[in-house]
Structure 1
């Protein structure tokens, strides 16, 4: 055991064994703490290096495919798909199929209007988003046979056929429905149609209940018509619409009335409002993106007024001006673009940018 003795100066001296044991314990703790700090610093440095390497790899991958997620997106507008077109908005089944096959060949991947306006554009690297929209809920767009299969030559059947022939081409789109509801007369039939579409990944948007021109109407009337369309949908399915397509493409006197409002017990607050023409839309990540008036492109050949401003003409232009087109980097968590385009990023997405 250790012994105590009093030195000349009255200092207590502890036997060497005890003193050495105490000092040794303190030194061990200090060494252990030092080792932990060193290990933590090493791990932190390794994590930082790994993160830097990952960022470098992502940047290189984005540059390789010339990603431009601030670019323009074609939002195509369809109405009836019939053998004998009666209006300039009608397309034949052959014309519709031909346009879809072109989109597939040129590396477009369909996304819904809801995915587009909310920035949930999850498509492979090097691909381009396209939004397929269908107005007025015509039976030529969608009709089921007795066993729940889309009838041949309807828009949905053609879209599924093209997707099957071109893996990766998603068979999805957005249907802007009205009270006609694909020609169905009962709520049960309407619900059956919407449930089938949403189950297959399609999006249901509001086109108002009665398809009335909203321009020139008072706020109360605008709110009532949009809310009636909203109620029409939510009365049949649980998923509320995320977007509105304006009847005839005409905005109300105050544009915000179409985006947000209420009437009675129904309130709506949409992610975007779509027009009827006639240019590609800006990326939702672009600071100039305007959710109050998102342009769409009418599907039509290069004839008459459509020589410059309909689908064939604009798809030609996007192909010839590929640097203006939205091209994905393949990572939905990042927004990739050439560095010189940085001034155009919306501030709300600044934490996701990947310039190269």
Structure 2
């Protein structure tokens, strides 16, 4: 897959301007110059032009993935049969083996799965969804730190128990794309720590994505299990997102290209309790300004509340959802709290996209409300988890739960069935 197995030339590490987004293809020009210096005749020059055309098509150049920002224009990946978890794998492996651009674009596409009979998969699209909250991926294990090996364990457990990642913005919009019989899960990382996305030099002095950082682990797991897409939202503050100033441009564009998202965490990680309207809009607007410098036309439309705090003033509270700073307007379609438990289905009558609770993805000081506690609750049946019928345009639920549906669900087909 793109990036993880690739290598990044050391002489590119200081290139952070917009030219980084377009792969350089200079081999043809170099061939022409070399031949002219050698004093080839007219016939030799024609031959050089022909050779240059051939070699330029195979140039590798800068490995920066091209930007893909409009998911709506991507061609959907067609499914093969109901509940087939290899749908994504089949579509992605059909791409040219040497096409990093195509690999990245495939993660921007929206997969399409066929619907299964709701009763056959015990569908319940009013069940709850875990929005997992991570901070550091590093040694040692601590309250706000998950070790790389433990993070790998989390992915393996979730995969084996039938969870599949979706984008946070898709959750907020009620656009759930997972195979029939599986459960969506949302990954979030706060603070833009370097251990979330780190570049390192290997033994050959070539730059690679650190296999022990969050992005490296997500991409590696996706390579092994293509249907487990590397969707995650990284909530950043101001300054230098993910550290390593020379790599900011590359990192932000890489995330967006590969199906991941950037969310807002305020410029200074501000506690919002006593914030003024002007201060709050500045804190949020500057993150959008930061993204505008690196990623074209990318809306920062999700927001994780620092410390889980909200403005105490009723007149300031609306600016959590939308506001304007220096002619930059932001609109937060999803606002995340610190939380403690799985949150409602987007089709549930109590769902509020601006008050989404999260689950602490840890096993340290979780007080009985960590990820593994809720997995046990799902297993025992004390909590009902969202189970998809495979079709994002239908809402499949047991008939006995119909009264829990939102009343403003337009454009969906409701599929009721009698549960045993």
TM-score (norm 1): 0.78
How many residues of Structure 1 are paired with residues of Structure 2 in the alignment? 294
Tell me by how many angstroms 1:121 deviates: 1.1
Tell me the residue number matched to 1:45.
none
Q: SS of 2:133's equivalent?
A: strand
Q: Is 1:309–2:369 an aligned residue pair?
A: yes
Do the aligned residues in 1 keep the contact of 2:115 with 2:390 (CA within 8 Å)?
A: no
Tell me the residue number matched to 1:164.
223
Tell me the residue number matched to 1:125.
180
Do the aligned residues in 1 keep the contact of 2:135 with 2:191 (CA within 8 Å)?
A: yes
- Give the Cα–Cα distance (whole angstroms) in 1 for the partners of residues 195 and 223 of structure 2: 20
Q: SS of 1:280's equivalent?
A: coil
Tell me by how many angstroms 1:148 deviates: 6.4
Given the superposition, is the C-alpha separation of residues 281 and 158 from structure 1 closer, same or farther in structure 2, using an over 3 Å criterion?
same
Tell me by how many angstroms 1:157 deviates: 1.3
Which consecutive residues of structure 1, in runs of 5 or more, have no partner in the other structure? 1-57
Tell me by how many angstroms 1:340 deviates: 1.9
- Give the Cα–Cα distance (whole angstroms) in 2 for the partners of residues 193 and 289 of structure 1: 33
Tell me by how many angstroms 1:82 deviates: 0.7
Tell me the residue number matched to 2:68.
none
Do the aligned residues in 2 keep the contact of 1:77 with 1:297 (CA within 8 Å)?
A: yes
Tell me the residue number matched to 2:391.
331
Q: Which has the higher helix share?
A: 1
Do the aligned residues in 2 keep the contact of 1:307 with 1:313 (CA within 8 Å)?
A: no
- Give the Cα–Cα distance (whole angstroms) in 2 for the partners of residues 314 and 274 of structure 1: 18
Deviations 1:94-151 (A, max 9, x none): 1111111100000100011111111121110001000000111111111234666421
Q: How does 1:345-356 map to 2 (within 5 A)?
A: 345-352=405-412, 353-356=414-417
Q: Is 1:290–2:352 an aligned residue pair?
A: yes
Tell me by how many angstroms 1:339 deviates: 1.5
Tell me by how many angstroms 1:319 deviates: 2.2
Tell me the residue number matched to 1:67.
123
Q: SS of 1:285's equivalent?
A: coil
TM-score (norm 2): 0.66
Q: Is 1:152–2:211 an aligned residue pair?
A: yes
Q: SS of 1:329's equivalent?
A: coil
Tell me by how many angstroms 1:322 deviates: 7.6
Tell me the residue number matched to 2:77.
none
- Give the Cα–Cα distance (whole angstroms) in 1 for the partners of residues 207 and 388 of structure 2: 35
Given the superposition, is the C-alpha separation of residues 184 and 123 from structure 1 closer, same or farther in structure 2, using an over 3 Å criterion?
same
> Which residue, 290, 302, 307 being the options, matches 1:232?
290
Tell me the residue number matched to 1:108.
163
Given the superposition, is the C-alpha separation of residues 97 and 77 from structure 1 closer, same or farther in structure 2, using an over 3 Å criterion?
same
Q: SS of 1:244's equivalent?
A: strand
Which consecutive residues of structure 2, in runs of 5 or more, have no partner in the other structure? 1-113
- Give the Cα–Cα distance (whole angstroms) in 2 for the partners of residues 313 and 193 of structure 1: 33
Do the aligned residues in 2 keep the contact of 1:144 with 1:150 (CA within 8 Å)?
A: yes
Tell me by how many angstroms 1:185 deviates: 2.6
Q: Is 1:88–2:143 an aligned residue pair?
A: yes
Q: SS of 2:284's equivalent?
A: helix
